Chain A
Amino acid sequence: MTVSALEANDAKRGGRSLLSALLLPIVLVNILVFVAPVANLAAMSFRSAAATGAMIEGFNLSTWSSLISDAYYWSMLWRTVWIGALITLVALVLSYPLALFVSRATRAKALLIVLCISPLLISAVVRTYGWMVILGDQGFLPAMLRSFNLTPPRLINNQLGVIIGMTEILMPYMILSLLSGFGKLDATLEQAAETLGAGPFTVFRRIVLPLSMPGILLGCLLCFVLAVSSFITPKMLGGGRVALLATEIYDQAIVTLNWPVAACLSVLILIVFGTALLFYGQLSKIVE
């Protein structure tokens, strides 16, 4: 559209002042609850708190330097990253066949999609509670194992419980991303390959997998960043024994009341996010 056409368009719809008026409320709210708080939090990480929780005047690097020199935080960062990566991997392995099946379904496809992603709309507290019912010492799974005369391992208040629960809770995001990627998959391509003599494994490796790569990458990015920032599930299924970045942010902010440390850890989580995004961008380029 040319500039004059744009201007004519504007005039017809009431011009620039109307445009500004329409956008004003959302800009105000966005500044109030997003831009200002996040900028303020980043600044907060360059302050420090006395043992009483009172803020010390002026900006400095002391909170950052004490954090970086503390091995406790390094091991927590490492644990957060590997647990997040493991959850992403398991979620991918479980979601892929399911998503492929759903995208190929001829009957009840809409129902299957709703079944797969409606857990997203159920509160994380409720779904995590469901896992406590299943994994708890008196829960469903240990009872099942006992009925087969097996000794159930400890499934709750440890890393295993957190990984099982988080994998299920994040799977709908993976399924959704994979489904959007499978949209490009054309069944006739596979039939053509089969007609030309390719076995099912070759068809999968040479046709299905490469074409679904964008969906895989998007799902992995989403799962990883959500796993890294999850707080409710690790807190409830970890029983306070699995310290991750997100749970530590909460403890520092609400229990210890050391806001500068909580702010530093928040910036750290954002750095992990940024790194994941960078990886995603690079891998997407390779895939294309």
Chain B
Amino acid sequence: MTDMIRATGLVKRYKDVEALAGLDLDVPEGKVLALLGPNGAGKTTAVRVLTTLLKPDAGSAVVAGVDVLADPDGVRSRIGLSGQYAAVDEHLTGFENLEMVGRLYGMSRTAARARARELLERFDLAEAGDRPSKTYSGGMRRRLDLAGALVAAPPVLVLDEPTTGLDPRSRVGMWDVIRELVASGATLLLTTQYLEEADRLADDILVIDHGRAIARGTADQLKAQTGGERVEVVLAHPADRDRVRRLMAEVATGEIGVAENGRELTAAVDGGVGSLRRLLEGLERERVEVLDVGLRRPTLDDVFLTLTGHASEDAAADATTDPTAEVTR
């Protein structure tokens, strides 16, 4: 299968930071690749290079058969970009936004207008289409932005953190829209900080950290890398942390992870329910009060922790405060 996106050895330096440190990636035609990493991992820089917004200091990239550096205009007419911050003009209506984009792709006025109406319909914005987009909710703006990326029906789509900042409901709605796009045959590069999002949408996940790919595989393959089940304890009192850590060490096969909030401890175990029982007995014996104890399969959060040695910044928060978890699990 041909690669619709192929980047080799991308390097981009800012004064004292190396945003990209020799990133390689490829996305076969019709597939979805998720770039997964914490804030500052280089996801957005990679996207900006691949969409011609930024020149790399070294390396090369070919998108839809066109060299990004040699023919940026050629690339621009073959890609649709939907950025982290909705690129819509708030004073224009949804319809005017899309018509303008169509015109700038070189479509005739009639064609641009027809396409605008079609996309508004498709993205559930038909009713709001003639209101200034300033009045839209965050989810509506993102949908309008995504519609903007689709105006010229480009073969390659690049979505930079398409659901960051959306409420859980809008996020799930966005996922449905993206899945539909993929089903219709688009090649998609997606960046995300949400491990679950990558799991749900992508064929393949490229984990990046400090501007470099550190792992690649399907969600299952990545999970397999971390192996075994894990026990998870949520403390009632953070002061008990060290005692519980000691108890967990008796059953753990590796290091014990502590979430940023200091109340959640995780450890890989190899004894399944037996390990859980031993831990529970220990907690009982030492009279440690806990909010929750459980045994679970590894998540991508654990993968990230294993691969990088540090938790993805949002992972800790995700597990407790992200209500999406409840909605979609």
Are A and B genuine complex partners?
no
